[in-house]
Amino acid sequence: SPNDLKDVEDYVQGHYAAPNDELYGLAKGKNVIYIHLESFQQFLIDYKLTDENGQEHEVTPFINSLYHNNSTFSFDNFFHQVKAGKTSDAETLLENSLFGLNQGSLFTQLGGKNTFQAAPDILKQEAGYSSAAFHGNSGNFWNRTETYKRFGYDHFFDASYYDVNEDNSFQYGLHDKPFFEQSIQYLEHLQQPFYSKFIAVSNHYPYSEFKNDEAGFPMAATNDETINGYFATANYLDKAVEEFFNYLKASGLYENSMIVMYGDHYGISTSRNPDLAPLLGQSKETWSNFDNAQMQRVPYMIHLPGQDKGGINHTYGGEVDSLPTLLHLLGIDSSKYIQLGQDLLSPENDQLVAFRSGDYMTPDYTYYGGSLYDNSTGLVIPTPDASLQAKADEWKQAVNEQLSTSDNVNNGDLLRFYTASGLEPIDPADFDYKNALQ
Ligand code: GP9
Ligand code: MN
């Protein structure tokens, strides 16, 4: 009911982190280009795979160069917060600053009926942005077509807009190089400024597509085929992203754009991590749940050509924090929206990262699978002293509150009652993705 909204608004007000004055509006009026790095974990950044002759191969040289560039706000303590909705949960988090559901996918269950106040809609109504999503798979996957209408996407270029054939695709759709290459003709027609996202998908489990790639990136040599192929598909993604940047530069779009790259979730599941451990300089035998929690880091990089205020930021945060961060860089006040994250560039950021399971992470402690760990040692703290226990209780409560607020908003479809943002309601019937260019 509308009354339930009151608690949500109180939470949002109490949790709001005011922007960093120096950075507010730094990207005002820029195009926004999201590049979705499928299943891409932070450990790939700067990683070098050693082949059987002892030679090292940098897996993602292009993405690494962006990561280390002062035009990029890079984060090394950024965590995914998805559950069963995987990619679609990441989309929910990044574009709404709300969590996915505790069971199943929000896109599938509520994407076709709820009211949202998502990034494309906010930017359209506040700053005249057009918007488009690009993905070389069927629009029905994760119920995207219906959900995107309610997010306010003007255009959705799904597989029907691409030449997808046996040679250039796999079970999840078009491969990344042809995907970016064929996207350009559509991107060129968008009215600027635009908000866009490109969901690249080649680096998706089972990582078996580039084993015999002509580029010949080596396989890892563990007992697990999934791990072995992961580096070569990540390398392919890196090259595809580089080609896309070259296009953006050649077309002149680059200078007018803010390019945001994120890993949506882990690519190597927890059960496989012990086999990965030796490649990370750790031992299979001592691998623990603490290590599993650290592996949930994914890249988050905001590349803003022509400025040098970036660098590697160590703030602890997660996908829910992306939208307020982005809006503030674009010079848009996020405080009037129901967003549950905090600007990662704000000095007021709490640095408490909720996992969807209710576990959490702070700069000093990890709570995972029911145990509290000291981040500096990686060891369990069996009996925290009274002051630490009090803090841990507070963190747990704050995490539960963030997650339950999200569930209340989503399950109660509460945004349909929320008028204080001043956004006009969306009518999904206004959107027809079959005629995307009209
Ligand atoms: C396919 C892709 C699937 O459209 O988005 O990703 P997943 O959710 O399986 O990571
Ligand atoms: Mn995914």
72 near 329, Cβ under 8 Å?
no
Neighbouring CB atoms inside 10 A of 386's CB total: 7
The Cα 139–Cα 148 span in angstroms is 10
Ligand 1-lining residues (CB < 6 angstroms): 86-88, 137, 141, 172-173, 199, 201, 204
DSSP three-state, residue 258? strand
List the beta bridge partners of residue 120.
none
Tell me what percent of the chain is helix, strand and coil, each rounded to the nearest 5. 40, 15, 45
Residue 438 has what pLDDT?
47
Residue 437 carries which side chain, given as an amino acid letter?
A: L
Q: How far is the CA of 4 from the centre of ligand 2 (A)?
A: 32
Q: What is the pLDDT of residues 249-272, one digit of tens each?
A: 999 999 999 999 999 999 999 999
- The model carries a pTM of 0.98
Q: What is the pLDDT of residues 55-105, one digit of tens each?
A: 999 999 999 999 999 999 999 999 999 999 999 999 999 999 999 999 999
Q: What is the pLDDT of residues 15-54, one digit of tens each?
A: 999 999 999 999 999 999 999 999 999 999 999 999 989 9
Instruction: Please name the residue that has the structure tokens 């906010």.
Output: 122
Q: Is 87 a catalytic residue?
A: yes
ipTM, 2 dp: 0.99
End-to-end CA distance of the chain: 38
Choosing from 87, 145, 147, 325, the catalytic residue is 87
List the beta bridge partners of residue 199.
36, 135
Residue 169 carries which side chain, given as an amino acid letter?
A: S
pLDDT, averaged across the chain: 97
For residue 72, give Cα distances in angstroms to 38, 302, 314, 332, 363.
20, 5, 13, 20, 22
The Cα 299–Cα 261 span in angstroms is 7
Residue 436 has what pLDDT?
57
